[in-house]
Chain A
Amino acid sequence: MSVKAHVDAKRTGKGRFYTSAELGSARPVETVILVLLGLTMLLPFAWLVSSALKTRAELVKVPPIWIPEVPQWQNFIAVFREVPLLRFYFNSFVTAGGITLSVMITSAMAGFALAKYKFKGRDLVFQGILATMMLPAFIFVIPVYYMMKRVPFAGGNNWLGVGGFGLLHSHLSLILPFAVSGWGIFLMRQFMIGIPDDLLDAARIDGASEAYLFFRIILPLTKPALATVGIFTFITHWNNLFWPLIISTSAPELTTLTVGLKMLSMSFDPNRNAHLILAGLTVGILPVVILFASLQGYYVKGMVMSGLKE
Chain B
Amino acid sequence: MLTSPLDAKYVGWSNYSYIFTKDKVFLKALGNTFIYAMSVVPISVVLSIFLAVLVYRQKRSSIWRLIFFLPTITTPVAIGMVWMYLYRPNYGLINTILNLFGFKSLDWLNNPKTALLSIIITAIWANIGANMLILYAGLKDIPTSYYEAAAVDGASGWVRFSKITLPLLKPAILFVVVTGMISSWQVFDFIVAMTAPTLGRAGGPINSTMTMVLYMYQTAFEYMYMGRACAMAYVLLIIIMALSLILLRMFRRGGVVSY
Q: Hey, which bits of chain A sit against chain B, CB under 8 A? A: 3, 6-7, 10-11, 17, 19-26, 30-31, 33-34, 37-38, 40-45, 47-48, 51, 59-64, 134-139, 141-143, 146, 149-150, 162, 235, 238-239, 241-242, 245-246, 249, 257-258, 261-262, 264-266, 270, 274, 277-278, 281, 284-285, 288-289, 292-293, 296, 299-300, 303-304, 306-308, 310
Query: Are A139 and B233 in contact, CB atoms less than 8 angstroms apart?
Result: yes
Point out the residues of chain A lying under 8 angstroms from B259, CB to CB. 307-308, 310
Query: Are A136 and B240 in contact, CB atoms less than 8 angstroms apart?
Result: yes
Main secondary structure of the interface of B (DSSP, over half): helix
Given A20-B151, A142-B230, A307-B179, the answer on whether A242 and B217 have CB atoms closer than 8 Å is yes
Q: Hey, which bits of chain B sit against chain A, CB under 8 A? A: 2, 4-5, 51, 54-59, 64-79, 81-83, 85-86, 90-91, 93, 96, 125, 129-130, 133-134, 137, 140, 143-145, 147-148, 151-152, 157, 160, 171-172, 174-175, 178-179, 182, 186, 188-189, 192-193, 197-199, 213, 216-217, 220-221, 226, 229-230, 233-234, 236-237, 240-241, 248, 258-259
Q: Pick from A33, A134, A146: contact of B5, CB below 8 A.
A: A146
Query: Are B82 and A47 in contact, CB atoms less than 8 angstroms apart?
Result: yes
Q: Pick from B96, B137, B147, B236: contact of A138, CB below 8 A.
A: B236
Query: Are B129 and A41 in contact, CB atoms less than 8 angstroms apart?
Result: yes
Point out the residues of chain B lying under 8 angstroms from A24, CB to CB. 57-59
Q: Pick from B78, B157, B198: contact of A261, CB below 8 A.
A: B78
Point out the residues of chain A lying under 8 angstroms from B174, CB to CB. 310
CA distance A127 to B56 in the complex (A): 37
CA distance A286 to B159 in the complex (A): 43
Q: Pick from B78, B157, B188, B229: contact of A281, CB below 8 A.
A: B78
Query: Are A51 and B85 in contact, CB atoms less than 8 angstroms apart?
Result: yes
Q: Which 8 A-B pairs have the closest CB atoms?
A: A307-B175, A292-B73, A20-B147, A26-B57, A60-B91, A265-B197, A10-B144, A22-B147
